[in-house]
Amino acid sequence: MEGRTKACPLPRYRSPLFIQSHCRTWDSVSLILSFEFEKLKICRLNEKVRKGKVVMPDEDLQTELYEATVEVMEEHGYKQYEISNFALPGFESKHNINYWKGGDYIGVGPGAAGRITVMENGLFIKRSFLQERHPPRWMDTVLREGVATQEDTTLTTKQQLTELIMSGLRTDEGIHFTENFGVLSNGLQLDEIFDVGYINKYKQFLHFSPEGLKATSQGRLILDTILSEILL
């Protein structure tokens, strides 16, 4: 079967039955991204909400439909390997996994971001690049100078690890301290990154061990809240 990706917008005001009928092409789709549009980030949607033409669902309904989505995906053989990503075995996005695990990537085009790891003074450091956001200015700068990098900064070790935690906890594998932190930690202790007290507070939503940290299925539902409290 040839792998194809389908963005399947699931209306957040319909029943799980509608979700099933909305995505009928299971046999030809290997990777599905299911996400909720945020009204503040999409101007037209925000305008319709403001005028009362679109009614946003409450948090309880959002949670119910999210759980229904996960259930339907699993019934059709799709593995949830990240909060909003589902795939048949072997069809997981390598690009996304690399990003979630803190791998290097190059951003090309207006507004694109990139991360590159380099060695300086015997330590691995991560450099963050951001391209000019405005398309015409980006094109003019590239034609004139060859590159249009707007920002080039070095991330601190703590910034790198914070990024890894925020993306890693979204995945089904979670965070492996040795694998994810071993190269980058440079002597930084876990209690300099985590508030251990809050980890204990959310212990029913997190699997915490000397080997790593992972969010439970219920923990993923409130992950933004958890991250806002456990990260120092």
* pLDDT at 130 > cutoff 50: yes
Averaged pLDDT, 194-213:
80
Q: Are residues 226 and 178 located together in one domain of the fold?
A: yes
**Over the stretch 93-115, which tens digit does the pLDDT of each residue have?**
999 999 888 889 999 999 999 99
Q: Read off the pTM.
A: 0.74
- Report how many domains make up the chain: 3
What pLDDT, on a 0 to 100 scale, did the predictor assign at position 3? 47
Q: Are residues 197 and 134 located together in one domain of the fold?
A: no
Q: Are residues 151 and 176 located together in one domain of the fold?
A: no
* pLDDT at 181 > cutoff 50: yes
Question: Under DSSP, is residue 21 helix (H, G, I), strand (E, B) or coil?
Answer: helix
* pLDDT at 204 > cutoff 60: yes
Q: Are residues 135 and 109 located together in one domain of the fold?
A: yes
How many CA atoms does the CB half-sphere of 223 hold within 13 Å?
21
Lowest mean per-residue pLDDT among 1-10, 186-195, 197-206, 221-230? 1-10
Angle among Cα 18, 24, 30 to the nearest 5 degrees reads: 120
Whose CA is closest to 85, among 16, 17, 167? 167
Range of the domain at 64: 5-92
Q: Are residues 87 and 109 located together in one domain of the fold?
A: no
Q: Are residues 66 and 30 located together in one domain of the fold?
A: yes
Q: Are residues 85 and 32 located together in one domain of the fold?
A: yes
Domain boundary among 92, 112, 147: 92
**Over the stretch 12-48, which tens digit does the pLDDT of each residue have?**
444 555 555 555 556 667 777 766 655 445 567 777 7
Q: Are residues 82 and 16 located together in one domain of the fold?
A: yes
Domain boundary among 115, 131, 155: 155
Element spanning 213, H or E: strand 212-215
Domain boundary among 55, 72, 92: 92
Element spanning 176, H or E: strand 175-176
- CATH number, domain containing residue 172: 1.10.10
